[in-house]
Structure 1
Amino acid sequence: MKSITLVIATYNSVNTLKRTLESVNSLEPVHGVETQVVVINNNSTDKTDEFLNAYNCQFQFLKLFQINQGQNYAKNTLFSEKVKLGDLVVFTDDDVILPPHFLQKYADAAKQQSNFDIFGGTVEALWPSNPPPNMLRGIDVAVAFAVTPEEKGYKTGEVSPTKMHGPNFAIRRRIFDAGFKFNESVGPNGSNYMMGSETELLYRLKNHGFRAFFDSLNAVQHIIREKQLTDDWIASRAHKAGRSLIMHQARQGQKILSSELFGYPRWAVKEKLLLKAKLVLAPKGHVDYYRLLWRYNHIAGYCAEYKKKAFLDFL
C-alpha cells in the first residue's frame, strides 16, 4: 500500500470541523505512504468555506464542493476526475477527534490483513457534560451516537461490514474502482432523513462477499453536542433510525410487507398506540421514560417509511 486518502464531508459544522482538522495536523505521518486529505463542503452556509481557504494542512490537501444536499452526494464527489484516490480510502466525520496513530493503524491493518477490504475502529463519545445515566440506559446508544460498545460485539477481529460506523471506517480503493458508490437516497440530506449513509453501501459489499476487519485499539472521539442530550433530539434520532430499519431488513432479505391498517403495518400501529399511552404516564427522566421515548419514535419512523414503500427499491 503506497497511498491513503482521508475523507471528511462537512455541512454547517465549522466549529467542530476546526477541532477535527486540528487533530488531522497532529496525525503522525506514515513512513513511505503518501497521504491526501480531502474535505468536501456540502453547500455549507456558515463560515466553512472561509475556514477551509485559510486552513494549512500538513498533508496534501484538496477542497471539494458539492451543491446537492446530502452526505452521500458529497462522498460521491470523490469519483470525479479531479480526485486521485489513495489505495486505502479512510472516512471520518466533521465532529471527530483523531488520535495521532490513526493513519498508521489503518496502514498496518491494510498491509497485515490482506484478505480484508473494509476496515473500522472504535468510536467513543466525547460528552459536553455528564449525560443523564437513565438516558444512556434507556436508548440505543450505539445507534444514537454512532459509538461502538464492546458489549455490542465491537472487538478486534473479523466483523460484519455493517458494524462499521461513519466516524471511523475505511475501504480499499479497488472496491470503488469496481463501480461501487454511495446511495444518494440514504443518509443526511436535510432535517428528516433515513439514517445509514455508509451502511447501505456496506450491506451491498457484504452481500458481494467482501470482508471487514475491526481494530478496537484505533479509537476516535465523536464530539457530542449539548443539544444531542435533549429529549427532542433523541426522539428525532430514533425516528430516523426507525426509517432506516426497513432498509436494513430489506438488505438482509427479511419479510417486510404485512397486514396493513391505513397503509401502515397493523402490528406497528397497535404497538405505537400502546407505547404512546405508556409514554404519557411514564415519569420524565426515568429509564423507562427514555426506553419508551426511543421505542415510540423508532416505531413512528418505521411506519412513516413503510407507507412510502420506498423500501421496495432495496428488495
Structure 2
Amino acid sequence: MWRRQAQNHLRTGRASTVLAATPLRSRVTVLFSTRNRGGALAPVLDRFSLLKAPAGGWKLVVVDNGSSDNTCSLLEGYRDRLPLTIVTEPRPGKNRALNTALPQLEGDLVVLTDDDVLPQPDWLVQLCRAADEHPEASLFGGCVLPHWSQPRPAWLVESAVPFSVLFAQQCREAGACSYEAIFGPNMAVRASVFAAGFRFSEAVGPDETRRMYAMGGETEFLRRLDAAGYKGHFVPDAVVGHIIRPEQLDEQWILHRGYRYGIGEGRHYASRPMRLRARVLFYGVASRAVRLMPPSPLRLKIRYKASTLTGIMAGLRNQTALVPAPARTRRIHLQQQGHANGPHDSGLHATTPQGARRMAP
C-alpha cells in the first residue's frame, strides 16, 4: 500500500498525507556530489527549485567533483533560484567530495542525495517533520522510485535482479527501521553525527580512478553508525524519483553493477567459505552456458548472480588493501549563520543522540 501511495505522490507532485499544523524546528542542509553531469543536471536542479522550504529554511550544498564539462557554469546559473553553495573538490571520489563539504553544513539535519533524483515538493518538509516527531532516531530514509527515461526491456524484471541494488528502489511502511532500509538517494542524518566526528570512507563508493570500485559507500557509513548505537526511522511520504538512464538498461551495465556490489559485500566476509567457492564455480559455468541464449529473465538472473559472486570473491581478496574509514575524526564546528531562504534557527549541538553509545574523544 505504501508503495502505491508513493507512486501516486510521484506522479501527481502532491503530498500523500495532510501535514499536521505543528511548527517544525529543523533547519536542514541538502548535500550531494556531481561530476561531469552538465548535460543532465538541469532537470534535477529545476525540481529542487520547487521544494517547499521547511520551517527555519534550507540550504543546498553541491560538490563539483572535478568536472571537465559545463557542470560548474550550470551550477552558477542556479544561484538566484536556489539557496546554493558550490564546493569544489578536484580529486575524484564521491565520498571524498562529501567529506570536503562537511564544514559547509548548517542546521540540525543533513539530507544526503544524488545528482539524478527528482524530489517531490514536500520532500524536505516530510523529513524534517519525522526528525521532529522521532527524537530517538538519528538516521532517516525515504522512498526511492525508479523514473524510467525510456521503456524498460521485457527481460529486466525484479524476479531476475534486485532493483534495490540496481536502481536503489526502496519503499516500505513508516516506522523504526534498520540501517539497511536507508538508501543513498534519499537519506537524512542528524548533523550531530558529523559534529561527533563521523566521516565517509573514501575507500568505497563511486571513484573514476577505479573502474570497478566497491559499491556501498552509504551502507558502510550507516553500518558504522548502527554499530555506535544510532537508530533509524523510515519516512515513506518523503519521496524521490531516481532517474534511470538508457545505459543502465544495458545487460553489461547491470552485470558490472552486480560485480561492484559484490566487491562491497565481500569486504565484510570474515573468511572464504567453501560453500561460496562452490557457488562461484557453479554460477560461472552456468553463466557461460546461458550467454548463447537470447535476452531473457532467466539469462539475466544467472549472469547477474555469477557477476555478484565473483565480485564478493574479489572483495574478499582485497580486504587488506582497502583502508576502512576511522570511526570518528576530530570534532568540527558547523556553520550556523542564516541565509536568504529562512531565519537562523539552528540548534546544532555535537552531542551523542539518545540510544547511542558515548564514544571517547
CA gap of 1:255–1:6, structure 2 versus 1, over 3 A, is: same
Query: How far did residue 156 of structure 1 move?
Result: 1.3
1:72 is matched with: 95
Of the three residues 143, 152, 171, the one matched with 1:122 is 143
Q: Which amino acid aligns with 1:233?
A: W
Whether 1:294 and 2:307 are equivalent positions in the alignment is no
Query: How far did residue 232 of structure 1 move?
Result: 1.2
2:271 is matched with: 256
Of the three residues 150, 174, 178, the one matched with 2:192 is 174
- Kindly report structure 1 stretches of 4+ aligned residues shifted beyond 6 Å: none
Of the three residues 289, 292, 295, the one matched with 1:278 is 289
Q: How does 1:3-82 map to 2 (within 5 A)?
A: 3-31=27-55, 33-80=56-103
**Greater mean alpha carbon deviation, residues 220-229 or residues 296-305:** 296-305
Q: Is the 8 A contact 1:3 1:87 kept in 2?
A: yes
CA distances 1:56-114 after superposition (whole Å, capped 9, x unpaired): 3544321001111111001101233xx14221000111110011101111110111111
Residues in 1 aligned to 2:286 and 2:106: alpha-carbon distance in whole angstroms: 48
Matched residues, percent identical? 29
1:161 is matched with: 179
TM-score (norm: length of structure 2)? 0.78
> What stretches of structure 1 of length at least 5 have no aligned partner?
none
Q: Which amino acid aligns with 1:4?
A: V
Q: Is the 8 A contact 2:160 2:300 kept in 1?
A: yes
Which structure's residues are more often helix, by fraction?
1
TM-score (norm: length of structure 1)? 0.88
CA gap of 1:20–1:228, structure 2 versus 1, over 3 A, is: same
* Partner SS state of residue 270, structure 1: helix
Q: Give the RMSD, CA atoms, in angstroms.
A: 2.1
Of the three residues 229, 233, 257, the one matched with 2:249 is 229
CA gap of 1:271–1:211, structure 2 versus 1, over 3 A, is: same
Query: How far did residue 162 of structure 1 move?
Result: 2.4
Residues in 2 aligned to 1:220 and 1:2: alpha-carbon distance in whole angstroms: 20
Whether 1:106 and 2:135 are equivalent positions in the alignment is no
Q: Is the 8 A contact 2:89 2:97 kept in 1?
A: yes
Number of matched pairs: 298
1:145 is matched with: 167
* Partner SS state of residue 69, structure 1: coil
1:216 is matched with: 236
Q: Is the 8 A contact 2:175 2:234 kept in 1?
A: yes
Residues in 2 aligned to 1:266 and 1:121: alpha-carbon distance in whole angstroms: 36
Q: Which amino acid aligns with 2:301?
A: R
Query: How far did residue 269 of structure 1 move?
Result: 4.3
Residues in 2 aligned to 1:225 and 1:30: alpha-carbon distance in whole angstroms: 31
Whether 1:135 and 2:156 are equivalent positions in the alignment is yes
2:219 is matched with: 199
